[in-house]
């Protein structure tokens, strides 16, 4: 028992004196690398959104009547992706009747290999008098299948599926699913479509940036330590997490990096720094300085390119981990501006 206590104390001391994992903070505040958007970036996404509008949503929202939470109404939702893949989600609203257009709504996107979660994870938003919607990212940890065929080989994970062509890349359909989630909530009678927020951490933060960068409907965006950002630097300096899949792809398929520029050209269409420059929503962003999965410089690159009004929460001694205190910060932000 004494040895266990000693080991824990030693670990805490090491954590307290852990050096920053990236550039000095004084440099991070001003870190604003050049954007990587290709000349046809907006055309690429406008075409994808136009294709999405031609595909029916076919949304179904089934009430969940046997759940112990009686202070909210819960709906098990399925809607079609633009390729017909069924996208699963949870939609919750406060119990009772609601006048048309009376509820603000918040849309949650989850982290890498996660899923829509459980209805009670949206309870705090409904307790604030809001509707809330959480969806799966296709093929990851939920009920939603991947729903696509990819032309080249890949490594385990999602980061390298279709890596050589932006029109075939895995995240093209995922980003459009995020926009179609906005279509779903805007189609709900009780929702005020002028009061939409999007949020998420890690991959969910990158998806929130994509939704707010590619669609003008979100009024608020709340990404924290976003993934899918500043790809080239992230691949170069990360020490854990899914960016390693891109390195492993090069090891397996292109050890001399002969296709490096082609790879990063594809990724530029999905890069959070290019999305950030198009975000007009008021944004609350959180960055953790000990993050070795989504390095701080990649997140500051996003924050410094955000085009709209923005606020930063900086957590000096935290890494890529749960931030329950930041959940409250997001609740206060949403209560103030939504």
- pLDDT tens series, the chain, 338 aa: 444 444 444 434 444 444 578 999 999 999 999 999 999 999 999 999 999 999 999 999 999 999 999 999 999 999 999 999 999 999 999 999 999 999 999 999 999 999 999 999 999 999 999 999 999 999 999 999 999 999 988 999 999 999 999 999 999 999 999 999 999 999 999 999 999 999 999 999 999 999 999 999 999 999 999 999 999 999 999 999 999 999 999 999 999 999 999 999 999 999 999 999 999 999 999 999 999 999 999 999 999 999 999 999 999 999 999 999 999 999 999 999 99
Judge contact between 260 and 247, C-beta under 8 A: no
So what's the pLDDT on residue 21?
A: 85
The number of helix segments (H) and strand segments (E) in the chain equals 12, 9
Both tokens assigned to 7: 């080991």
- Pairing verdict, β 86-94 and 131-135: antiparallel
Given the residues 202, 268, 297, 326, the one annotated as active site:
202
**Burial level of 49, CB count in 10 A (0-12/13-18/19+)?**
middle
CATH number of 47-57+100-112+142-337: 3.40.50.1820
Q: Which of 88, 230, 305, 320 is catalytic?
A: 320
Q: Residue 23: left if φ>0, alpha if ψ -120 to 50, beta else—which one?
A: beta
Only one residue has tokens 């926009």, namely 179
Residue 305 annotated to the active site:
no
What pLDDT is recorded for position 13?
41
Q: Strands 191-201 and 103-109, how do they pair?
A: parallel
Residue with tokens 């749960």: 322
Please tell me the predicted confidence (pLDDT) of residue 12: 40
How far out from the chain centre does Cα 5 lie?
A: 38
The pLDDT score that the predictor gives to residue 10 is: 42
Single out the catalytic residue among 52, 271, 291, 305: 291
pLDDT at 220: 98
- Of the candidates 163, 112, 162, the one whose C-alpha atom is nearest the C-alpha of residue 137 is 112
The pTM of the full predicted model, rounded to 2 decimals, is 0.94
Which helix (H) or strand (E) element contains residue 175?
A: helix 170-186
The predicted pLDDT at position 143 comes to 97
Per the annotation, the verdict on 67 as an active-site residue is no
Is 112 within any annotated ligand binding site? Answer: yes
320 part of the active site: yes
């Amino acid at each position: 028992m004494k040895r266990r206590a000693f080991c824990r104390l030693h670990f805490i001391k090491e954590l307290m004196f852990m050096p920053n994992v990236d550039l000095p903070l004084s440099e991070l505040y001003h870190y604003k690398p050049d954007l990587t958007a290709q000349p046809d970036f907006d055309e690429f996404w406008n075409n994808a959104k136009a294709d999405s509008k031609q595909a029916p949503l076919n949304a179904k929202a089934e009430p969940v009547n046997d759940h112990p939470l009686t202070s909210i109404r819960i709906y098990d939702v399925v809607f079609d992706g633009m390729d017909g893949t069924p996208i699963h989600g949870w939609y919750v609203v406060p119990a009772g009747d609601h006048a048309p257009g009376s509820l603000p709504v918040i849309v949650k996107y989850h982290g890498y290999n996660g899923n829509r979660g459980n209805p009670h994870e949206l309870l705090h938003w409904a307790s604030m008098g809001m509707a809330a919607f959480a969806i799966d990212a296709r093929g990851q940890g939920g009920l939603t299948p991947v729903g696509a065929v990819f032309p080249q080989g890949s490594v385990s994970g999602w980061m390298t599926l279709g890596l050589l062509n932006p029109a075939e890349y895995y995240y093209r359909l995922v980003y459009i699913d995020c926009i179609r989630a906005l279509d779903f909530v805007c189609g709900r009678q009780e929702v005020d479509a002028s009061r939409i927020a999007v949020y998420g951490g890690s991959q969910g933060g990158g998806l929130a940036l994509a939704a707010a960068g590619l669609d003008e409907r979100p009024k608020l965006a709340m990404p924290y330590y976003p993934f899918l950002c500043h790809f080239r630097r992230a691949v170069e300096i990360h020490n854990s997490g899914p960016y390693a899949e891109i390195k492993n792809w090069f090891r397996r398929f292109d050890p001399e990096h002969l296709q490096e520029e082609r790879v990063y050209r594809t990724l530029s269409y999905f890069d959070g720094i290019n999305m950030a420059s198009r975000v007009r929503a008021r944004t609350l962003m959180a960055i953790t300085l000990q993050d070795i999965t989504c390095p701080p410089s990649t997140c500051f690159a996003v924050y410094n390119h955000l085009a709209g009004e923005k606020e930063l929460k900086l957590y000096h001694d935290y890494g890529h981990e749960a931030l329950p205190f930041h959940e409250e910060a997001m609740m206060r932000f949403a209560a103030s501006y939504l």
